[in-house]
Structure 1
């Protein structure tokens, strides 16, 4: 294939992060296998298709590389990021997208597995969940940080953690806390600042939004309908006047008849003429558009415990034509003179992470890892992202390419090959 030489150069670039030369072949074969057009991309099928004549030996080698070898995920991810970033065109707009993704799992032994919300299934179920930070532009996007969420039951069980190889000192952290840690590490490593985008699972956390502001970045994040704000033109009352006796009052106040409102109540009370149809991008078959309104508000979460009013922010409301009520709400610290079209465009940039996860799972086997340990879970994800990143870079450097031009052909399997775990009488795979 025409781009094999470029792929080899890319792999050599990543191998610098492995520290040991004897690991280079493992990275090369694993990434090459992930790019093959095969249905299942766990260790055994990768071994069978990258070295059909020595499946058992290759399986043992790849399993050790992904599940046991002590190379650094962050070091490889840094090389991946540095390879792709020059192609993203971040000068025209940089976005940091926070999200998580779930992997349905059976049993209780896989690291981090618990009954929790799984986005892939759209309900509570037995699954693993990982939090990611992606770097995006109008041209493309790529995950640059990825970490398994460890539920409280796991984080407080030293026996299970040790058996699964969870690093020493790993304690419970909420998903927003994990995301903030990822952002701090990204800034420390020199990643360009961008506007932070996240759904309501993150944006509804006041501490998460405050953390972004403390890092010096703007945000446009989803919130839930019950989030409270001070309507335009209103604010918490100042502290009570000091009587001259006792401690001087310093806390902001609320009183009957002077209270914050939910964003849903505020949206329903707005005149219908403030809602306008905005188109933000072209979809696969038609332009994507909806009705929006934007007003300046002050977030009200527990401000009665504070001494200073929160600054005004944008409340962006999406109310599609024909719906009985608004469907989405966002808070944004974008400039006060931002237009409605700008607010909508920036907020809707979060769609890129959905496409990334779709391709990572469907084309690169992100959900196919069958091991149970912490190291293997993260190593497999890092290698999936590394393989996907090469495709992203190729697409961006060849703007007319929408296919994986660098996808290698699948080697033929021996006629007597039988997948591990199959009956010996099973038909061989071609």
Structure 2
């Protein structure tokens, strides 16, 4: 891995240090912070590790770019690849870590004192890994430039919404030639509800499957606007001529509790603003049976756009791929120390997160190579 990123270091000392840092992230340590990584490397203090993250001269964003290219080289598959945007939380104490405040995080499912990182992942049939990251800075930070300066936030960094941060990462992937009209993008409703996010993708001819809410107002080809849940009722009704319901039962792959099987249907939407020859749909997912203690089967909704001939099974596949980023977060936190850092500055956050992503990507690529050789054993890193 160090050879992959060696060109991003002008001096040998930080280049050697990053090698020990990565080896520590890959080691079986219970915690992977400055102290434990230093001890693993045989150092008497964490000063060198902290200096690597905070002030050492190396190109953090250049390493990010190398990581992104490495993942696509190792796991890329044009037929199944999906780029997924989502955020995760990092629980913190105090008020000095860049971007920290009391805010909702799906990590705990409640409002906590935390930092939020917005991430881009790549998932294919060969594997999945995180490939880009941005630290979310709330307005409580960006409107207090003294506080930003104390945490090392560059003066040119202002407020950006999570969808804007997601688009910045997608734009970098596109500029690198990795995101195109042959790619798919998926994200949850925070992004699917954002018109700018959808428009950016449509204007560049990038197909998408984005979650949305049941009360999203959508326009049908006849020009009428209805809520998503109303359109779902219409789409799932029995055809008066054939007597067939408009649902198809399909699996989106194995989950933590077995095969994830749902009923699916899609209803056409107005194609205004879509590229020529494209379709625009509301995709609806329904539980096959009500959850325990419930009387009604839960629905989930997705806004989709792609070439008009795209079959339902492909929209379903991409909708199912969105959960890969949750697996990426879990793997990177549990196996590569993504959330084990003890740094406060803007630059140090990006430096640690990038290196942890690189370590997790190495594990994903190694697993993929072993799977291709037919080795069922998990990767062991010492």
In structure 2, relative to structure 1, the CA distance for the partners of 1:124 and 1:285 (3 Å cut) is closer
Where does 1:138-217 land on structure 2 (aligned, <5 Å)? Answer: 138-193=125-180, 194-217=183-206
1:132 alignment partner, SS class:
strand
Q: Match for residue 247 of structure 1?
A: none
Instruction: Name the Cα RMSD after superposition.
Output: 2.2
Q: Match for residue 102 of structure 2?
A: 115
1:87 to 58, 74, 77: 74
2:209 alignment partner, SS class:
strand
Which range is displaced more, 394-403 or 97-106?
A: 394-403
> How far off its partner does 1:74 sit?
1.7
2:378 to 393, 403, 425: 403
Distance 1:316 1:260 in 2: 16
Distance 1:196 1:91 in 2: 13
Distance 2:150 2:337 in 1: 25
1:116 alignment partner, SS class:
strand
In structure 2, relative to structure 1, the CA distance for the partners of 1:130 and 1:224 (3 Å cut) is same
Q: Match for residue 4 of structure 1?
A: none
Cα deviation 1:184-222 (Å, max 9, x = unaligned) = 122112224221110101111111100111233111110
Where does 1:14-413 land on structure 2 (aligned, <5 Å)? Answer: 14-51=5-42, 54-56=43-45, 59-193=46-180, 194-231=183-220, 233-235=221-223, 259-269=224-234, 270-271=236-237, 273-283=245-255, 286-298=258-270, 313-323=280-290, 324-399=296-371, 400-401=375-376, 403-405=378-380, 407-408=381-382
Gaps of 5+ in 1: 1-9, 236-258, 409-430
> How far off its partner does 1:394 sit?
1.1
2:231 alignment partner, SS class:
helix
> How far off its partner does 1:276 sit?
2.2
Count of matched residue pairs: 364
Contact 1:268–1:325 (CA under 8 A) maintained in structure 2: no
Gaps of 5+ in 2: 239-244, 291-295
1:341 alignment partner, SS class:
helix
Distance 2:10 2:106 in 1: 36
> How far off its partner does 1:325 sit?
4.9
Distance 1:174 1:81 in 2: 23
Contact 1:280–1:341 (CA under 8 A) maintained in structure 2: no
| TM-score, structure 1 normalization | 0.80
| TM-score, structure 2 normalization | 0.90
2:154 alignment partner, SS class:
coil
> How far off its partner does 1:339 sit?
2.4
> How far off its partner does 1:43 sit?
0.5
Contact 2:9–2:15 (CA under 8 A) maintained in structure 1: yes
Cα deviation 1:232-255 (Å, max 9, x = unaligned) = x521xxxxxxxxxxxxxxxxxxxx
> How far off its partner does 1:357 sit?
0.4
Distance 1:401 1:364 in 2: 21
Cα deviation 1:92-141 (Å, max 9, x = unaligned) = 33211111111112221111011211111112221110111112212112
Distance 2:136 2:71 in 1: 26
Distance 2:262 2:147 in 1: 48
2:160 alignment partner, SS class:
coil
Distance 2:83 2:179 in 1: 9
2:196 alignment partner, SS class:
helix
2:56 alignment partner, SS class:
coil
Q: Match for residue 4 of structure 2?
A: 13
Distance 2:4 2:260 in 1: 39
Contact 2:279–2:307 (CA under 8 A) maintained in structure 1: no
Distance 2:227 2:194 in 1: 15
2:44 alignment partner, SS class:
helix
Higher share in strand: 2
Distance 1:192 1:218 in 2: 10
Contact 1:140–1:352 (CA under 8 A) maintained in structure 2: no
1:92 alignment partner, SS class:
coil
